[in-house]
Structure 1
Amino acid sequence: MYSVPEPEVVDRMRQAHAEVTVQLQAQAVGGAESWGWRGRTLSRLVAAPTGDGWLRLVSVPADKADGKLWEGPMAAELSMPSDVPRPRLRRRLTWADGEHGYLAELYDPVPNRTVTVDGPVLRDKPALDAAWWAGLAGALDLVAGVWTSRVAVRQEYLDRAMPQFLGVPVDTTVPAWSTAHGDLHWANLTAPSLSVLDWEGWGVAPVGFDAAMLHTYSLLVPETAAQLRRHLGHVLTTPAGRFSELVVITMLLQTVQRGDNLDLEAPLRERASVLLGTTI
């Protein structure tokens, strides 16, 4: 969960969430609000005719209320194997109100909290057992085998961004492609029982992209990063996996330039230097 956004966003999102709760013949129950990045999403537990559920509201500018991110969760519901641990999507509503477009999704409730509750970066070592790690590895392997025409990472972006943000000449050709969740960070994973949340951006990406993203978001906790390399080493230690690490480092260095993830900059550059064999 991210911090509560500015008051005008809070008021608008709370009103829209309350209205769609009534439309679904539901009512809010105990539990805190869960805010997404800059107030883009607002979620909370509700009691619905089909039982308790997690009602997630997404808001974007009205002219952006379609396309890959808008359709991702429903596409995942239709395409992902049932063995991939994730909350099932029950209902979906979309509408526009002035300059804002909205998507409301009612999911089965998730019994466990996300590993991090204040954003994607891991800052403390989580207590994750061998079964959790095995479940994650198996889930990523299943996702990688799903065929899709959806695209999570584009070669054109890598050709432009990798030299710019890594600051050194680098071969930007993706060695191999597979399907990925596309946003696999610690605020999208639950524990002690594993569930993978937020399927907006899934699609084809460089092989190992999900493992690389989770590893990169773990760099502030070296012990967990080492655990991750052990449990997902069958992907991360390959040439494709190392390339995917550079892809994710590129993306996060771009966010640093925008003023986000500032405490990750030094670890990102250190890890890139190890992978490239030169200081960046």
Structure 2
Amino acid sequence: MDKASGKLWTGPEDAQRLVPQQVPRPRLHLVRQWVEREGAYQAELYDYAVGVSLSSSPVLAVEPALTAAWWKGLRTALDCLSPLRTGRTVMRQAYLDRAMPKYLAFLGDEVPTVPPAWTTAHGDLHWGNLTGPELAILDWEGWGSAPAGYDAALLHAYSLAVPETAERVRRELAAILDSRAGRFAELVVITELLQSAERGDNLELLPALRQRAGEVWFHGLGPVSPPGGLSPG
């Protein structure tokens, strides 16, 4: 009962009301909530998703065959989502201040923790939440404010086990990932995934994550701290 509110509980309905129609996703038609004994329940009725999920897990294992139109649709979706104003949050500045120095200490120099900017993100943009051959973005429970470039950085990190796809992500989303904000977002995502590895998640990505952190830091971001931006708190 104590979890029958908050970001994850309201995310799908908030997305249906606020996320632009240009962002392809199954439409939410109906929500029903009820209480049974000590539990609260919520059922959601959506359009049937187009295509099929591109992975059975967040970490990509096999290179997907995706068209130029699919990638263009993804870029358009991220461009439409990022300027959206919302009080929802994917993460807060306090998490970055606490976690980034700890999990990126192996980089040696002082790692910046303040993003160049905050924008709106899906917040869980991995291959299991994307469909093909027609693009749809699934799972809108956790969307909200995040460091600019967060979605692109997360998709890239979950692609590292398939180098050809990781390179394709870097190429197709270069306008985001090649920016200073995009590089910072990569360090944010790597921080999260290194932390989750302590729980046994995504262990196959550990070597690639550490290598990528070094590439971003020594060849694109460090050692100058990024300029401060407005933070959601």
Contact 2:87-2:144 within 8 A present in 1 as well: yes
- Give 1:103 shift: 1.6
Name the structure 2 match of 1:137: 75
TM, length-normalised to structure 1: 0.75
| In structure 1, distance between residues paired with 2:125 and 2:34 | 28
Q: What does residue range 127-166 of structure 1 map to in structure 2 within 5 Å?
A: 127-166=65-104
Q: What does residue range 1-280 of structure 1 map to in structure 2 within 5 Å?
A: 62-117=1-56, 119-167=57-105, 168=108, 169-277=110-218
TM, length-normalised to structure 2: 0.90
Following superposition, which runs of at least 4 residues in structure 1 exceed 6 angstroms of deviation? none
More strand by share: 1
Q: Which secondary structure does the structure 2 equivalent of 1:164 belong to? A: helix
| In structure 1, distance between residues paired with 2:37 and 2:113 | 42
Contact 2:50-2:136 within 8 A present in 1 as well: no
- Give 1:259 shift: 1.1
Q: Which secondary structure does the structure 1 equivalent of 2:52 belong to? A: coil
Judge which range, 91-100 or 180-189, deviates more: 91-100
- Give 1:146 shift: 1.2
Any unmatched runs of 5+ in structure 2? 220-233
| In structure 2, distance between residues paired with 1:100 and 1:272 | 42
Judge which range, 163-172 or 225-234, deviates more: 163-172
Give the AA of the match of 2:163: P
| In structure 1, distance between residues paired with 2:70 and 2:141 | 23
| In structure 2, distance between residues paired with 1:163 and 1:65 | 34
| In structure 2, distance between residues paired with 1:266 and 1:71 | 36
Q: Which secondary structure does the structure 2 equivalent of 1:173 belong to? A: coil
The higher relative CO (CA closer than 8 Å, separation ≥ 6) is in: 2
Give the AA of the match of 2:155: L
Give the AA of the match of 2:14: A
- Give 1:96 shift: 2.8
Contact 2:81-2:121 within 8 A present in 1 as well: yes
Identity score, percent:
56
Name the structure 1 match of 2:223: none
CA deviation digits over 1:79-133, x for unaligned, max 9? Answer: 011111000001011223334332211000013111002x111011000010000
Give the AA of the match of 2:113: T
CA deviation digits over 1:121-166, x for unaligned, max 9? Answer: 1011000010000000000000002111111121000000001111
| In structure 2, distance between residues paired with 1:101 and 1:219 | 38
CA deviation digits over 1:41-97, x for unaligned, max 9? Answer: xxxxxxxxxxxxxxxxxxxxx211210111011000000111110000010112233
Q: Which secondary structure does the structure 1 equivalent of 2:53 belong to? A: coil
Q: Which secondary structure does the structure 2 equivalent of 1:212 belong to? A: helix
- Structure with the greater alpha carbon radius of gyration: 1
Give the AA of the match of 1:213: L
| In structure 1, distance between residues paired with 2:200 and 2:94 | 24
- Give 1:276 shift: 1.5
CA deviation digits over 1:200-245, x for unaligned, max 9? Answer: 1111111100000000000001111111111100000000000000
Q: Which secondary structure does the structure 1 equivalent of 2:89 belong to? A: coil
| In structure 2, distance between residues paired with 1:101 and 1:266 | 41
Q: Which secondary structure does the structure 1 equivalent of 2:2 belong to? A: helix
